[in-house]
């Protein structure tokens, strides 16, 4: 796994892209943003909350 920094918060984390299994594979996918890399778990979960349909 590669050590990278989250482009949102700057936290260092392990990215398992290209590995047999990665923690992010258990989460829904986001639409990629050009020029922005992988997010840490906390930021990815926050982005998923923001992009989820609003429930009434």
Nearest to 13 by CA among 33, 42, 34: 42
12-15 and 2-5 beta bridge pairing? antiparallel
Query: Residue 56: which pLDDT band, with cuts at 50, 70 and 90?
Result: very low
Please give the structure tokens belonging to residue 13.
């984390």
pLDDT per residue as tens digits for the range 5-40: 999 999 999 888 778 888 888 888 888 889 888 899
Nearest to 2 by CA among 37, 10, 17: 17
Q: Where in the chain are the domains? A: 2-51
Looking at residue 1, its pLDDT comes to 65
Q: Give the lowest-confidence range in 12-16, 31-35, 44-48, 51-55.
A: 51-55
Q: What is the pTM for the complete model shown? A: 0.76
3-state secondary structure of 17: coil
């Amino acid at each position: 796994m590669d050590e990278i920094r989250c482009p949102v918060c700057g936290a260092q984390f392990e990215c398992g892209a290209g590995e047999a299994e990665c923690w992010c594979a258990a989460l829904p996918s986001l639409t990629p943003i050009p020029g922005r890399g992988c997010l840490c778990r906390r930021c990815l979960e926050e982005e998923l909350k923001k992009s989820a349909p609003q429930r009434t």
